[in-house]
Amino acid sequence: MVMVRVRDHRFLNLKLSPIQAPTIIPPYRLPIVAATKASATVSSCASNTFSIANLDRINVLGSGNGGTVFKVKDKTTSEIYALKKVKENIDSTSPGREIEILRMVNSPYVVKCHDIFQNPSGEVSILMEYMNLGTLESLSGVSENQLALMARQVLEGLNYLHEHKIVHRDIKPANLLRSSKEEVKIADFGVSKIVVKSFNKCNSFVGTYAYMSPERLDSEADGVTEEDKSNVYAGDIWSFGLTMLEILVGYYPMLPQGQKPDQAAIICAVCFGEPPKAPEECSTELKSFIDCCLRKKARERWTASQLLNHPFLLHQE
Ligand SMILES: Nc1ncnc2c1ncn2[C@@H]1O[C@H](COP(=O)(O)OP(=O)(O)OP(=O)(O)O)[C@@H](O)[C@H]1O
Protein backbone atom coordinates (compact mmCIF):
# COMPACT_ATOMS: atom_id res chain seq x y z
CA MET A 1 0.00 0.00 0.00
CA VAL A 2 1.37 3.41 -0.90
CA MET A 3 0.49 6.74 0.66
CA VAL A 4 1.33 9.67 -1.52
CA ARG A 5 2.52 13.21 -1.26
CA VAL A 6 0.32 16.24 -1.40
CA ARG A 7 0.51 17.63 -4.90
CA ASP A 8 2.29 20.90 -5.29
CA HIS A 9 0.65 22.36 -8.29
CA ARG A 10 -2.15 21.92 -10.77
CA PHE A 11 -2.69 23.13 -14.26
CA LEU A 12 -5.76 21.43 -15.36
CA ASN A 13 -7.36 24.09 -17.42
CA LEU A 14 -4.70 24.38 -20.08
CA LYS A 15 -6.40 24.16 -23.42
CA LEU A 16 -5.43 24.81 -26.99
CA SER A 17 -7.68 27.06 -28.95
CA PRO A 18 -10.11 24.85 -30.80
CA ILE A 19 -8.79 24.19 -34.29
CA GLN A 20 -12.01 22.70 -35.46
CA ALA A 21 -15.38 23.98 -34.32
CA PRO A 22 -17.17 21.12 -32.59
CA THR A 23 -20.20 19.79 -34.36
CA ILE A 24 -23.32 20.33 -32.35
CA ILE A 25 -25.73 17.57 -33.17
CA PRO A 26 -24.84 13.94 -32.61
CA PRO A 27 -25.92 11.82 -35.56
CA TYR A 28 -28.56 9.79 -33.78
CA ARG A 29 -30.09 9.08 -30.43
CA LEU A 30 -29.65 5.86 -28.52
CA PRO A 31 -32.73 4.44 -26.85
CA ILE A 32 -31.28 4.50 -23.35
CA VAL A 33 -33.52 7.16 -21.87
CA ALA A 34 -36.66 8.18 -23.65
CA ALA A 35 -36.18 11.81 -24.63
CA THR A 36 -39.10 14.05 -25.28
CA LYS A 37 -38.58 16.63 -28.00
CA ALA A 38 -37.79 19.97 -26.43
CA SER A 39 -41.02 21.81 -25.90
CA ALA A 40 -41.51 25.54 -25.46
CA THR A 41 -39.99 25.79 -22.03
CA VAL A 42 -38.91 22.49 -20.58
CA SER A 43 -37.63 19.21 -21.91
CA SER A 44 -37.23 16.31 -19.57
CA CYS A 45 -34.47 13.71 -19.58
CA ALA A 46 -35.73 11.77 -16.61
CA SER A 47 -39.01 10.55 -15.23
CA ASN A 48 -39.10 13.06 -12.33
CA THR A 49 -40.59 16.43 -13.04
CA PHE A 50 -38.88 19.54 -11.77
CA SER A 51 -39.68 23.19 -12.06
CA ILE A 52 -36.87 25.70 -12.28
CA ALA A 53 -38.96 28.17 -10.27
CA ASN A 54 -38.94 25.66 -7.46
CA LEU A 55 -35.14 25.61 -7.21
CA ASP A 56 -33.36 27.96 -4.81
CA ARG A 57 -29.77 28.85 -5.72
CA ILE A 58 -27.45 28.28 -2.77
CA ASN A 59 -24.02 29.08 -4.22
CA VAL A 60 -21.76 28.75 -7.24
CA LEU A 61 -19.97 25.40 -7.38
CA GLY A 62 -17.70 26.34 -10.22
CA SER A 63 -17.55 27.45 -13.80
CA GLY A 64 -15.75 26.35 -16.91
CA ASN A 65 -15.88 26.81 -20.64
CA GLY A 66 -19.33 25.26 -20.84
CA GLY A 67 -21.05 27.44 -18.25
CA THR A 68 -21.57 27.99 -14.54
CA VAL A 69 -22.70 25.32 -12.08
CA PHE A 70 -24.83 26.25 -9.06
CA LYS A 71 -25.74 24.29 -5.97
CA VAL A 72 -29.52 24.44 -5.74
CA LYS A 73 -32.22 23.21 -3.37
CA ASP A 74 -35.66 21.97 -4.33
CA LYS A 75 -38.09 24.03 -2.24
CA THR A 76 -40.57 21.18 -1.93
CA THR A 77 -38.33 18.23 -1.16
CA SER A 78 -35.25 20.07 0.21
CA GLU A 79 -33.15 17.83 -2.03
CA ILE A 80 -29.86 19.32 -3.22
CA TYR A 81 -28.87 19.31 -6.91
CA ALA A 82 -26.29 20.88 -9.19
CA LEU A 83 -27.69 23.18 -11.88
CA LYS A 84 -25.49 23.96 -14.86
CA LYS A 85 -26.36 27.05 -16.82
CA VAL A 86 -25.04 26.42 -20.30
CA LYS A 87 -23.31 29.44 -21.83
CA GLU A 88 -24.43 29.26 -25.41
CA ASN A 89 -28.06 29.59 -26.34
CA ILE A 90 -29.28 26.49 -28.02
CA ASP A 91 -32.23 26.28 -30.31
CA SER A 92 -34.75 23.67 -29.21
CA THR A 93 -34.60 21.99 -32.60
CA SER A 94 -30.85 21.51 -32.45
CA PRO A 95 -29.91 20.84 -28.85
CA GLY A 96 -26.27 20.76 -27.86
CA ARG A 97 -24.20 17.66 -27.86
CA GLU A 98 -23.82 17.61 -24.09
CA ILE A 99 -27.57 17.71 -23.65
CA GLU A 100 -28.20 14.97 -26.17
CA ILE A 101 -25.68 12.72 -24.51
CA LEU A 102 -26.95 13.48 -21.03
CA ARG A 103 -30.42 12.50 -22.16
CA MET A 104 -29.25 9.09 -23.25
CA VAL A 105 -26.93 8.15 -20.46
CA ASN A 106 -28.23 6.11 -17.55
CA SER A 107 -25.44 4.61 -15.47
CA PRO A 108 -24.66 4.74 -11.75
CA TYR A 109 -21.10 5.67 -12.74
CA VAL A 110 -22.01 8.74 -14.75
CA VAL A 111 -23.42 11.90 -13.13
CA LYS A 112 -27.18 11.70 -13.48
CA CYS A 113 -29.12 14.28 -15.40
CA HIS A 114 -32.47 14.84 -13.72
CA ASP A 115 -33.95 17.42 -16.04
CA ILE A 116 -33.20 19.98 -18.71
CA PHE A 117 -34.81 23.40 -18.79
CA GLN A 118 -34.94 25.67 -21.74
CA ASN A 119 -36.42 29.12 -21.61
CA PRO A 120 -38.08 30.73 -24.63
CA SER A 121 -34.86 32.52 -25.62
CA GLY A 122 -33.12 29.17 -25.91
CA GLU A 123 -31.05 29.40 -22.72
CA VAL A 124 -30.50 25.94 -21.31
CA SER A 125 -29.98 24.76 -17.73
CA ILE A 126 -29.18 21.19 -16.81
CA LEU A 127 -30.26 19.80 -13.45
CA MET A 128 -27.81 17.18 -12.27
CA GLU A 129 -27.15 14.94 -9.37
CA TYR A 130 -25.08 16.84 -6.77
CA MET A 131 -21.70 15.31 -5.96
CA ASN A 132 -20.85 16.81 -2.59
CA LEU A 133 -17.06 16.31 -2.59
CA GLY A 134 -16.43 18.00 -5.92
CA THR A 135 -13.81 16.90 -8.41
CA LEU A 136 -10.84 14.56 -8.03
CA GLU A 137 -8.57 17.61 -8.42
CA SER A 138 -8.99 18.32 -4.74
CA LEU A 139 -7.62 14.94 -3.66
CA SER A 140 -4.35 15.22 -1.76
CA GLY A 141 -3.30 11.60 -1.47
CA VAL A 142 -4.72 8.14 -1.90
CA SER A 143 -3.75 4.61 -0.99
CA GLU A 144 -3.67 1.84 -3.59
CA ASN A 145 -6.96 0.52 -2.22
CA GLN A 146 -8.61 3.90 -2.57
CA LEU A 147 -7.20 4.29 -6.06
CA ALA A 148 -8.56 0.88 -7.05
CA LEU A 149 -12.00 1.81 -5.71
CA MET A 150 -12.03 4.99 -7.78
CA ALA A 151 -10.50 3.37 -10.86
CA ARG A 152 -13.12 0.61 -10.87
CA GLN A 153 -15.99 3.11 -10.85
CA VAL A 154 -14.52 5.27 -13.58
CA LEU A 155 -13.87 2.18 -15.69
CA GLU A 156 -17.45 0.97 -15.16
CA GLY A 157 -18.58 4.38 -16.42
CA LEU A 158 -16.20 4.30 -19.39
CA ASN A 159 -17.18 0.74 -20.22
CA TYR A 160 -20.84 1.80 -20.24
CA LEU A 161 -20.13 4.81 -22.46
CA HIS A 162 -17.93 2.85 -24.86
CA GLU A 163 -20.48 0.04 -25.11
CA HIS A 164 -22.98 2.70 -26.17
CA LYS A 165 -20.50 4.10 -28.67
CA ILE A 166 -19.87 7.29 -26.72
CA VAL A 167 -16.30 8.60 -26.48
CA HIS A 168 -15.88 11.03 -23.60
CA ARG A 169 -12.71 12.75 -24.91
CA ASP A 170 -12.08 14.87 -21.83
CA ILE A 171 -11.35 12.48 -18.98
CA LYS A 172 -9.23 14.31 -16.39
CA PRO A 173 -9.33 14.85 -12.62
CA ALA A 174 -11.54 17.94 -13.05
CA ASN A 175 -14.20 15.89 -14.83
CA LEU A 176 -14.49 13.13 -12.25
CA LEU A 177 -16.76 13.97 -9.32
CA ARG A 178 -16.96 12.25 -5.97
CA SER A 179 -19.36 12.04 -3.07
CA SER A 180 -19.05 11.21 0.62
CA LYS A 181 -20.69 7.85 -0.20
CA GLU A 182 -17.34 6.91 -1.79
CA GLU A 183 -18.86 7.29 -5.24
CA VAL A 184 -16.84 8.52 -8.20
CA LYS A 185 -18.68 9.42 -11.38
CA ILE A 186 -17.84 10.72 -14.81
CA ALA A 187 -19.08 14.21 -15.57
CA ASP A 188 -18.89 16.87 -18.24
CA PHE A 189 -19.92 15.82 -21.68
CA GLY A 190 -18.95 19.12 -23.19
CA VAL A 191 -16.69 17.48 -25.77
CA SER A 192 -18.11 13.99 -25.85
CA LYS A 193 -18.83 12.44 -29.17
CA ILE A 194 -21.05 9.64 -30.24
CA VAL A 195 -19.41 7.36 -32.73
CA VAL A 196 -21.28 5.99 -35.68
CA LYS A 197 -19.47 4.42 -38.61
CA SER A 198 -17.08 7.15 -39.44
CA PHE A 199 -14.50 7.93 -36.81
CA ASN A 200 -12.63 10.83 -38.34
CA LYS A 201 -14.56 13.59 -36.61
CA CYS A 202 -13.86 11.96 -33.27
CA ASN A 203 -10.24 12.80 -33.69
CA SER A 204 -10.89 16.51 -33.95
CA PHE A 205 -8.70 18.53 -31.63
CA VAL A 206 -10.89 19.25 -28.67
CA GLY A 207 -10.55 18.47 -25.00
CA THR A 208 -7.79 19.25 -22.58
CA TYR A 209 -4.58 18.50 -24.38
CA ALA A 210 -2.60 17.71 -21.24
CA TYR A 211 -4.54 14.46 -20.97
CA MET A 212 -4.71 13.68 -24.69
CA SER A 213 -3.25 10.49 -26.04
CA PRO A 214 -0.24 10.60 -28.40
CA GLU A 215 -2.35 9.62 -31.43
CA ARG A 216 -4.83 12.41 -30.74
CA LEU A 217 -2.12 15.01 -30.27
CA ASP A 218 -0.32 13.96 -33.44
CA SER A 219 -2.21 11.53 -35.64
CA GLU A 220 0.43 11.84 -38.38
CA ALA A 221 3.34 10.78 -36.16
CA ASP A 222 5.55 7.89 -37.23
CA GLY A 223 4.13 4.60 -36.09
CA VAL A 224 0.52 5.79 -35.75
CA THR A 225 -1.49 3.34 -37.84
CA GLU A 226 -5.02 3.55 -39.21
CA GLU A 227 -5.96 1.05 -36.53
CA ASP A 228 -4.67 3.42 -33.85
CA LYS A 229 -6.56 6.34 -35.35
CA SER A 230 -9.81 4.41 -35.61
CA ASN A 231 -9.59 3.15 -32.04
CA VAL A 232 -11.19 6.29 -30.62
CA TYR A 233 -12.01 4.67 -27.29
CA ALA A 234 -8.32 4.11 -26.55
CA GLY A 235 -7.90 7.90 -26.19
CA ASP A 236 -10.19 7.81 -23.14
CA ILE A 237 -8.11 4.99 -21.66
CA TRP A 238 -4.90 7.04 -21.99
CA SER A 239 -6.58 10.00 -20.28
CA PHE A 240 -7.94 7.69 -17.59
CA GLY A 241 -4.49 6.16 -16.94
CA LEU A 242 -2.87 9.57 -16.71
CA THR A 243 -5.60 10.77 -14.37
CA MET A 244 -5.21 7.76 -12.06
CA LEU A 245 -1.43 8.20 -12.01
CA GLU A 246 -1.80 11.89 -11.20
CA ILE A 247 -4.11 11.11 -8.30
CA LEU A 248 -1.55 8.61 -7.04
CA VAL A 249 1.61 10.70 -7.26
CA GLY A 250 0.07 14.11 -6.65
CA TYR A 251 1.36 15.97 -9.72
CA TYR A 252 0.88 15.91 -13.48
CA PRO A 253 2.90 12.81 -14.33
CA MET A 254 3.95 13.57 -17.91
CA LEU A 255 6.51 16.08 -16.64
CA PRO A 256 9.02 15.85 -13.81
CA GLN A 257 7.61 17.06 -10.50
CA GLY A 258 8.04 20.81 -10.18
CA GLN A 259 8.62 21.48 -13.90
CA LYS A 260 6.59 24.42 -15.11
CA PRO A 261 4.04 23.00 -17.49
CA ASP A 262 3.63 24.64 -20.84
CA GLN A 263 2.08 23.58 -24.09
CA ALA A 264 5.36 22.72 -25.84
CA ALA A 265 6.72 20.69 -22.93
CA ILE A 266 3.51 18.71 -22.63
CA ILE A 267 3.22 17.98 -26.33
CA CYS A 268 6.89 16.95 -26.52
CA ALA A 269 6.56 14.69 -23.50
CA VAL A 270 3.38 13.00 -24.75
CA CYS A 271 4.43 12.61 -28.38
CA PHE A 272 8.16 11.96 -28.10
CA GLY A 273 8.77 10.79 -24.53
CA GLU A 274 8.20 7.44 -22.93
CA PRO A 275 4.87 7.01 -21.11
CA PRO A 276 5.11 7.70 -17.37
CA LYS A 277 5.12 4.78 -14.96
CA ALA A 278 3.81 4.21 -11.45
CA PRO A 279 6.50 4.78 -8.78
CA GLU A 280 8.88 1.90 -8.09
CA GLU A 281 7.51 1.38 -4.56
CA CYS A 282 4.00 0.59 -5.86
CA SER A 283 2.67 -2.95 -6.07
CA THR A 284 3.43 -4.99 -9.19
CA GLU A 285 -0.30 -5.03 -9.98
CA LEU A 286 -0.61 -1.26 -9.89
CA LYS A 287 2.51 -0.79 -12.02
CA SER A 288 1.11 -3.20 -14.58
CA PHE A 289 -2.34 -1.53 -14.47
CA ILE A 290 -0.87 1.90 -15.27
CA ASP A 291 1.28 0.35 -17.98
CA CYS A 292 -1.78 -1.26 -19.62
CA CYS A 293 -3.50 2.17 -19.80
CA LEU A 294 -0.49 4.20 -20.88
CA ARG A 295 0.72 2.24 -23.89
CA LYS A 296 1.89 4.65 -26.54
CA LYS A 297 0.29 2.67 -29.34
CA ALA A 298 -3.48 2.91 -29.06
CA ARG A 299 -3.92 -0.63 -30.38
CA GLU A 300 -1.88 -2.01 -27.47
CA ARG A 301 -3.85 -0.26 -24.72
CA TRP A 302 -6.32 -2.37 -22.77
CA THR A 303 -10.02 -1.62 -23.14
CA ALA A 304 -12.20 -0.54 -20.22
CA SER A 305 -13.74 -4.00 -20.08
CA GLN A 306 -10.31 -5.70 -20.01
CA LEU A 307 -9.06 -3.31 -17.32
CA LEU A 308 -12.05 -4.14 -15.13
CA ASN A 309 -10.57 -7.65 -14.97
CA HIS A 310 -7.01 -6.50 -14.30
CA PRO A 311 -5.39 -8.06 -11.18
CA PHE A 312 -4.96 -4.57 -9.64
CA LEU A 313 -8.73 -4.24 -9.37
CA LEU A 314 -9.41 -7.88 -8.63
CA HIS A 315 -6.90 -8.13 -5.78
CA GLN A 316 -7.88 -5.00 -3.86
CA GLU A 317 -10.27 -5.25 -0.89
N1 LIG B 1 -22.85 17.55 -10.49
C2 LIG B 1 -22.00 18.33 -9.80
N3 LIG B 1 -21.94 18.28 -8.46
C4 LIG B 1 -21.07 19.07 -7.78
N5 LIG B 1 -20.23 19.96 -8.36
C6 LIG B 1 -20.24 20.05 -9.70
C7 LIG B 1 -21.13 19.26 -10.50
N8 LIG B 1 -20.91 19.56 -11.80
C9 LIG B 1 -19.95 20.49 -11.82
N10 LIG B 1 -19.55 20.81 -10.57
C11 LIG B 1 -18.52 21.81 -10.20
O12 LIG B 1 -18.59 22.88 -11.12
C13 LIG B 1 -17.33 23.04 -11.79
C14 LIG B 1 -17.52 23.45 -13.24
O15 LIG B 1 -18.36 22.53 -13.91
P16 LIG B 1 -18.10 22.00 -15.37
O17 LIG B 1 -16.80 21.32 -15.33
O18 LIG B 1 -19.25 21.17 -15.77
O19 LIG B 1 -18.01 23.24 -16.28
P20 LIG B 1 -17.44 23.17 -17.74
O21 LIG B 1 -17.63 24.49 -18.32
O22 LIG B 1 -18.05 22.01 -18.45
O23 LIG B 1 -15.90 22.83 -17.55
P24 LIG B 1 -14.84 22.67 -18.72
O25 LIG B 1 -14.10 23.97 -18.78
O26 LIG B 1 -13.95 21.53 -18.28
O27 LIG B 1 -15.57 22.34 -19.96
C28 LIG B 1 -16.63 21.70 -11.61
O29 LIG B 1 -15.24 21.85 -11.65
C30 LIG B 1 -17.13 21.22 -10.28
O31 LIG B 1 -16.35 21.78 -9.24
Domain membership flag for residue 42: no
**Judgement on whether residues 100 and 205 belong to the same structural domain of the protein:** no
In the reported structure, the alpha carbon of residue 284 is separated from the centroid of ligand 1 by a whole-number distance in angstroms of: 34
**Judgement on whether residues 175 and 100 belong to the same structural domain of the protein:** no
pLDDT at 20 over 50: no
**Beta strand extents in the chain (DSSP E only):** 42-43, 55-64, 67-74, 80-86, 113-118, 124-129, 166-167, 176-178, 184-186, 193-194
What CATH number corresponds to the domain at position 164? 1.10.510.10
Which atom belonging to ligand 1 lies closest to the Cα atom of 66? Answer: 21
Residue 84 assigned ligand-binding role: yes
316 vs 119 pLDDT, higher one: 119
Average pLDDT, the chain: 79
What is the mean predicted confidence (pLDDT) over 167-193?
88
Which atom belonging to ligand 1 lies closest to the Cα atom of 129? Answer: 1
Residues with a known catalytic role: 170
Pocket test for ligand 1, best of 84, 172, 185 (most atoms within 8 A of CB): 84
**Judgement on whether residues 178 and 305 belong to the same structural domain of the protein:** yes
Closest residue CA from atom 28 of ligand 1: 62
pTM for the model stands at: 0.81
> Backbone dihedral region of 91: left (phi > 0), alpha (psi from -120 to 50 degrees) or beta?
beta
Q: Give 237's contacts (C-beta < 8 A, 6+ positions apart).
A: 158, 213, 293, 301, 302, 303, 304, 307
**Judgement on whether residues 154 and 300 belong to the same structural domain of the protein:** yes
DSSP 286-313: HHHHHHHH--SSGGGSPPHHHHTTSHHH
The rounded radius of gyration (Å) of the Cα atoms in the chain is 19
CB 153 within 8 A of CB 183: yes
200 vs 271 pLDDT, higher one: 271
**Judgement on whether residues 151 and 247 belong to the same structural domain of the protein:** yes
In the reported structure, the alpha carbon of residue 300 is separated from the centroid of ligand 1 by a whole-number distance in angstroms of: 32
- Which domain does 284 fall in, by range? 136-315
Which atom belonging to ligand 1 lies closest to the Cα atom of 208? Answer: 26
What CATH number corresponds to the domain at position 102? 3.30.200.20
- Supply the pLDDT for residue 262: 84
pLDDT at 221 over 80: no
Residues of the chain with pLDDT > 70: what percent? 74
Q: How many CB atoms lie within 10 A of CB 34?
A: 12
**Judgement on whether residues 236 and 304 belong to the same structural domain of the protein:** yes
Domains identified in the chain, total number:
2
Q: How far apart are CA 308 and CA 229, in angstroms?
A: 23
154 vs 105 pLDDT, higher one: 154
Which atom belonging to ligand 1 lies closest to the Cα atom of 170? Answer: 26
Domain membership flag for residue 46: no
In the reported structure, the alpha carbon of residue 62 is separated from the centroid of ligand 1 by a whole-number distance in angstroms of: 6
In the reported structure, the alpha carbon of residue 176 is separated from the centroid of ligand 1 by a whole-number distance in angstroms of: 9
Which of 107, 129, 151 terminates a domain? The answer is 129
Task: Return the half-sphere exposure (C-beta side, CA atoms, 13 A cut-off) of residue 23.
Answer: 11
> 98 pLDDT band (50/70/90 cuts)?
low
In the reported structure, the alpha carbon of residue 223 is separated from the centroid of ligand 1 by a whole-number distance in angstroms of: 36
Q: Pocket around ligand 1: residues whose beta carbon is below 6 Å from it?
A: 61-67, 69, 82, 84, 111, 128-131, 134-135, 174, 177, 187-188, 190
> Backbone dihedral region of 122: left (phi > 0), alpha (psi from -120 to 50 degrees) or beta?
left
What is the mean predicted confidence (pLDDT) over 185-196?
71
Closest residue CA from atom 5 of ligand 1: 134
> 101 pLDDT band (50/70/90 cuts)?
confident
Pocket test for ligand 1, best of 13, 61, 114, 130 (most atoms within 8 A of CB): 61
